[in-house]
Chains A and B, each alone.
Chain A
Amino acid sequence: NAGVTQTPKFQVLKTGQSMTLQCAQDMNHEYMSWYRQDPGMGLRLIHYSVGAGITDQGEVPNGYNVSRSTTEDFPLRLLSAAPSQTSVYFCASRNREGGYGYTFGSGTRLTVV
């Protein structure tokens, strides 16, 4: 049982480049979210999805796109990378009943130069 799998683990981009961070879960969870983690700021929600075909914006959505064509996959797209997007990105999933907490992936460390 793999849980939540994120790829790649590390990435360096040049300003203006685009890329997709992959996230897959094998727990049949309905809810999936993308967070970014920056020093001293905790985790901030970028986008989330409550099921296949349904996505919405979180606190810091600018510069990112998501889609959810299947229950398992929830990729995060950076449209035109900026140095301000240098961060650690976490994908997380949970079932509809919120009391069991999110399961997190191991993260993608992204540096934009």
Chain B
Amino acid sequence: AQSVTQPDIHITVSEGASLELRCNYSYGATPYLFWYVQSPGQGLQLLLKYFSGDTLVQGIKGFEAEFKRSQSSFNLRKPSVHWSDAAEYFCAVGAPSGTYKYIFGTGTRLKVLA
């Protein structure tokens, strides 16, 4: 069955520390992969996406993610976290064009300590 797993429900890091949020997926073929961020009371904003090419993708707000086919993973990273990064982060997968459905993980809530 198709699924997305974000194993960490909560993560706490100190401001300035590095961050890695994990995402593993189960899918029949290489899907499109996404990371979204949701600030409190807001909708989801697309951070970055992967659908082909270089397996290390850069996104907005200084985030990057690496697609590892052998591990079925798409982990999100940031070298130095800012207090404003505190939010909930969702990994999602989608089939190549022509289908509607994205599958979302259950989210990782990031807390940043000053």
Contact = CB atoms under 8 A, between A and B. Distances in A.
A42 B9 CA distance: 11
A33 B98 CA distance: 14
Interface in A18-70: 31, 33, 35, 40-43, 45, 48, 50, 56, 58
Q: Tell me the interface secondary structure of chain B in the complex.
A: loop
Nearest to B102: A102
Contacts of B42: 106-107
B70 interface: no
Contact of A43 (B9, B46, B90, B98): B90
The CB with the most chain A CB atoms within 10 A, among B94, B98, B102, is that of B102
Interface residues of B, number: 27
Given A43-B90, A98-B94, A99-B51, A58 B101 contact: yes
A106 B96 CA distance: 26
A89 to B, nearest CB: 11
A106 B39 CA distance: 10
Interface of A: 4, 31, 33, 35, 40-43, 45, 48, 50, 56, 58, 90, 92, 96-107
